[in-house]
């Protein structure tokens, strides 16, 4: 059975991926900051044997390292790494953007992707895949998206250089913009939007499965669903 390590698997897109890949027979290892949510995930899915969870803050390098080592211990080497965890921060102008929120968003959304990836690379199988969740705000000018947009531009750049660096190991790297998706993060970004007008996270999970069956030639994948 193939092995998946995915950050932020307790809700939204991460959770939909966890559920679908478990159903497809994968071994899955995931994390989040809230222990209760991880316990809830396991209970709601009826404690599958092939699901492993650990509390982790991806933006903390010691926590990120401990999570990757835990996944290696439980799964062995990884077929797929999905850097999914991120936070929105504030919708605010640069002039008024709070410094502490800026630092927290960059710490989680960008440093977190670096730490998890750096520690996971030695355990990636040849022919493995790394998917970094990006955003339209990381590809086109997105005024008032502040640190979130800048972190996702960083994720796009990170994915481009990493894809070159890992060619020798035959590991493919993608930055995936999942497009508007019905999650807590989306509701926070667009409080007046009717959630039913955007696609559910299960669609993104299905798309990721399709992407693995036919790996694209480009690194940056833009999917509006």
Ligand X SMILES: NC(=O)c1ccc[n+]([C@@H]2O[C@H](COP(=O)([O-])OP(=O)(O)OC[C@H]3O[C@@H](n4cnc5c(N)ncnc54)[C@H](OP(=O)(O)O)[C@@H]3O)[C@@H](O)[C@H]2O)c1
The minimum distance between CB 160 and ligand X, in angstroms, equals 17
The nearest distance, CB 63 to ligand X, in angstroms, is 8
Q: Which is nearer to ligand X, 57 or 79 (CB)?
A: 57
Minimum separation from the CB atom of position 170 to ligand X (A): 26
Q: Report in angstroms how near the CB of residue 55 gets to ligand X at its nearest.
A: 8
CA distance 209 to 205: 6
CB of 70 to ligand X, least distance (A): 13
What is the contact surface with ligand X in residues (CB under 6 A)?
A: 7-8, 10-14, 31-34, 37, 56-59, 84-87, 108, 112, 133, 135, 177-178, 180-181, 183-186
Q: In the sheet where 124-133 sits, what is the strand order? A: 51-55, 27-32, 3-7, 78-83, 124-133, 172-177, 220-222
Nearer to ligand X, 86 or 159 (CB): 86
Taking the alpha carbons at both ends of the chain, their separation in whole angstroms is 28
Whether residue 56 contacts residue 33, with contact meaning beta carbons closer than 8 Å, is answered with yes
Q: Could you give the count of Cα atoms lying within 13 Å of 220 in the half-sphere of its Cβ?
A: 15
Query: How far is the C-alpha of 116 from the C-alpha of 157, rounded, in Å?
Result: 16
Positive or negative, the CA dihedral 86, 211, 17, 117 is negative
**Alpha carbons 121 and 124: distance in angstroms, whole number:** 5
Cβ proximity to ligand X: between 168 and 196 the closer is: 196
Tell me the C-alpha distance between 182 and 168, whole Å: 37
Write down the catalytic residue from 119, 148, 174, 190.
148
List, as one string, the DSSP characters of 115-144: HHHHHHGGGEEEEEEEEEE--GGGTS--TT
- C-beta closer to ligand X: residue 98 or 127: 98
Q: Which is nearer to ligand X, 172 or 203 (CB)?
A: 203
**Percent composition of the chain: helix, strand, coil (DSSP 3-state, to 5):** 50, 20, 30
Indicate if 148 belongs to the active site: yes
Residues acting as catalytic residues: 148
């Amino acid at each position: 059975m193939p092995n998946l390590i995915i950050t932020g698997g307790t809700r939204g897109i991460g959770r939909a991926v966890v559920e679908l890949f478990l159903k497809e027979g994968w071994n899955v290892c995931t994390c989040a900051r809230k222990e209760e949510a991880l316990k809830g995930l396991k209970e709601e899915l009826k404690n599958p044997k092939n699901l492993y969870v650990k509390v982790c803050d991806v933006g903390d390098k010691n926590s990120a390292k401990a999570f990757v080592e835990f996944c290696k211990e439980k799964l062995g080497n990884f077929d797929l790494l999905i850097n999914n965890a991120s936070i929105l921060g504030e919708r605010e102008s640069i002039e008024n953007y709070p410094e502490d929120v800026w630092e927290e968003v960059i710490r989680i959304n960008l440093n977190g992707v670096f730490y998890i990836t750096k520690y996971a690379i030695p355990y990636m199988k040849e022919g493995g895949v790394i998917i970094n969740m990006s955003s339209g705000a990381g590809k086109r000018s997105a005024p008032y998206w502040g640190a979130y947009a800048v972190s996702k531009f960083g994720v796009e750049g990170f994915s481009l250089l990493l894809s070159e660096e890992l060619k020798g190991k035959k590991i493919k790297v993608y930055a995936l913009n999942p497009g508007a998706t019905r999650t807590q993060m989306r509701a926070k970004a667009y409080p007046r939007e009717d959630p039913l007008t955007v696609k559910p996270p299960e669609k993104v999970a299905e798309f990721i499965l399709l992407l693995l069956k036919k790996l694209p030639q480009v690194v940056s994948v833009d999917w509006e669903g």
